[in-house]
Amino acid sequence: MTMPSPGAAAVTAQRCAAQLLSGPPARSPFEVVHRLLAVQGQDPRGARLAIRARSAGLNAADVDRALTDDRSLLITWLNRGTLHLIGCDDYWWLHPLTAPRMRTGIARRLAQEGVLPGQAEKAAAVIASSLAEEGPLTRHELGERIARVGIRTQGQALVHLLAHASVAGIAVRGPMVRSGRGMAAEHAFVGVRDWLGPAPASRTFDHDAALAELARRYLAGHGPASERDLAQWSGLPLRDARRGLSAIAATLRERDDDLAELARARQLAGESAGLAELTDGRPGELPPPRLLGPFDPVLHGWMSREPILGQHKSIITVNGLFRPFAMVRARAAGTWKIAAGQVELDLFAPLPEPAAAALRADGADVVRYLGLDATASS
């Protein structure tokens, strides 16, 4: 296996610390999401496992409470055109900054699914009225209401109609609810204003201010990183990434490798959110052996995944799925799955017993966190 150079290893260690994979763990789902700004959210279990790996003393039900009772987190289409878990307060600037760029792609996909532009607008109106009149509704329930007015929902049409309404600022994925189709909780859609209230006066959208906030918050959870890393992660043009970084130039530390990082550790914590006590791990400290879930943020933050994956690119499947994997010394060491309520490891090579024991213990914590029993399966 090709090992990273000392300089590359040091950068990876810093990034893992920024990601809360080393150093003091977070104490709530909100703290994790605030640090990372946006967590890949199309895989519900993956988003919850991303929080587990960066916190202590929590369980998946705490994430459900943050989404449902606390209303501190939500999921919607942002950044690279996929679902992301974010803090509710960040919706007011991150949505208008990143979501509008998705409109062309959504319209193209709807046309491929046989949905005309006028029908997409009609479906958005149905979604808005249904949520206003009936409160939180699941994807299936909204699909039923859209189909009643003669709009196609088969195939991928429904998901793109929901994305269209979300990008238009009509709906977000908010609380977990129990539907009549089964006992398991499902993620429901809600009207933006009904769930979040009116946009705060302090959150009047300013494009340049939003770019500066994006750059600062991105580096808090991903630094050190380049302008191209920021553009890749956010889905914005390179010129916007450069503009955001230029706006916060006075807060950046000079480096010899053309990467940017915030100058003060407390800035990484997000002082404005009262998280100044969360600081980085010791310089060069690597994360302990850890099991990371599908679509973990550590594989989405930068242009290259080679520092983490090395030669093990099969962790990302040909159809774009990101498999759960074990990380040892900040490198992929194997994959894992849940079978019969237990974690099963498939290591790429034998590990020293201390590392293997740490992964087994982390597997037990995955089972605890998810509340699984001996009959559960993945």
pLDDT in tens, 68-77: 999 999 999 9
Alpha carbon 190 to its chain's center: 19
Say if CB 348 and CB 333 are below 8 A apart: yes
Q: What is the pLDDT of residue 278?
A: 42
Residue 154 has pLDDT above 80, yes or no: yes
Architecture of domain 96-201: Orthogonal Bundle (1.10)
Residues of the chain with CATH 1.10.10.10: 96-201
Contact 268, 279 (CB under 8 A): yes
Nearest in space to 117 (alpha carbons), one of 128, 105, 127, 107: 107
CB 20 within 8 A of CB 61: no
Whole-number pLDDT of residue 204: 81
**Residue 116 carries which side chain, given as an amino acid letter?**
L
Contacts of 44 (CB under 8 A, 6+ apart): 187
Hey, which of 6-10, 197-201, 226-230, 272-276 has the most confident mean pLDDT? Answer: 226-230
What is the overall mean pLDDT for the chain? 91
* pLDDT in the model for residue 355: 98
* Distance between CA atoms of residues 26 and 111, nearest Å: 43
pLDDT at 281: 44
Q: Map tokens 């009643």 to a residue.
A: 148
Which whole-number Å values give the CA distances from 370 to 59, 67, 178, 243, in the listed order? 6, 16, 18, 41
- At residue 307, φ and ψ (nearest 5 deg) are -60, -30
Per DSSP, helices labelled H in the chain are 6-18, 29-36, 44-52, 60-68, 91-98, 103-112, 117-134, 139-148, 157-167, 192-196, 207-222, 227-234, 238-247, 265-269, 306-309, 353-370
Q: What is the pLDDT of residues 320-349, one digit of tens each?
A: 899 999 999 999 999 999 999 999 999 999
Decide: pTM greater than 0.75.
yes
Total residue count of the chain as it appears in this document: 378
